[in-house]
Amino acid sequence: MKPKTRQAPSKAAPVPEPLSWWNDFYRVVCSIPRGRISTYGAVAAMAGHPRAARHVGQALSALGETGDLARVPWHRVLGSRSRQRAAISIKDPVGGALQRAQLEAEGVEVDVRGSVSLDRYGWFASAPPRTSARKATKATRATKATRATKATRATKATRATKATKATRATKASRRGAAAPKRRAS
């Protein structure tokens, strides 16, 4: 049997360098004024990397407690929710409570569910982020399709009603009686 040799303990893995475009996110987040908030998606769009909202979250979660990046106001970035609302999206109760406390200290009103009004506190540099052309096109197509479907249903219903009235009139004429009148409702 071979004797076991002891290996020296391995050193901790070095902290990975942030992606080069994470600095773009940090620059945008640092420009959010005190008492205002933005969303992950809006920060990504303003940094020139649309559709990278998850990367913004990863970049902010990788911030250290010391060094230059410790001064980035990460608590001013929230997750997008339904119409004109954003909410604290940190699942850790301690981190969520810390974010809430920092926002309230800046004068931002956070409701019981951790939700904040973007109409009142939102910051988007110059204007709210627009939906991408692709999403707008899909929405337009969906609206047109819905209208076409409703029009088709209405046309079919009208035809069915006319056919039913014609059938009733034909049956009544065969019997020699006048067509029955509809009751007023």
Pair 136, 97 in one domain: no
φ/ψ (deg, to 5) at 61? -75, -20
Site of tokens 């080069």 = 20
φ/ψ (deg, to 5) at 15? -70, 130
Phi-psi region of 26 (alpha: psi -120 to 50; beta: other; left: phi over 0): alpha
- The answer to whether residue 3 is domain-embedded is no
Q: What angle do CA 105, 108, 114 make, to 5 degrees?
A: 100
Pair 67, 100 in one domain: yes
- The answer to whether residue 6 is domain-embedded is no
Pair 107, 32 in one domain: yes
Pair 81, 158 in one domain: no
Encoded tokens for 153: 């249903």
Handedness of CA 49, 50, 55, 56 (dihedral sign): positive
- The answer to whether residue 150 is domain-embedded is yes
φ/ψ (deg, to 5) at 77? -110, 125
Pair 89, 45 in one domain: yes
Pair 42, 102 in one domain: yes
pLDDT of 37 = 97
What's the whole-model pTM score?
0.59
- Per-residue pLDDT of the chain (185 residues), as tens digits, is 666 666 666 665 555 555 688 999 999 999 999 999 999 999 999 999 999 999 999 999 988 877 778 899 999 999 999 889 999 999 899 999 999 999 999 999 999 999 999 999 999 986 544 544 555 555 555 565 566 666 666 666 666 666 676 777 777 777 765 555 666 65
- The answer to whether residue 9 is domain-embedded is no
H-assigned helices in the chain: 22-30, 40-46, 53-61, 93-105, 118-121, 133-175
pLDDT of 32 = 97
Find the domain containing 156 and state its range.
131-178
- The answer to whether residue 126 is domain-embedded is no
Pair 115, 141 in one domain: no
- The answer to whether residue 1 is domain-embedded is no
Pair 114, 64 in one domain: yes
The answer to whether the beta carbons of residues 89 and 78 sit under 8 Å apart is: yes
Q: How far is CA 7 from the centre of its chain?
A: 50
- The answer to whether residue 8 is domain-embedded is no
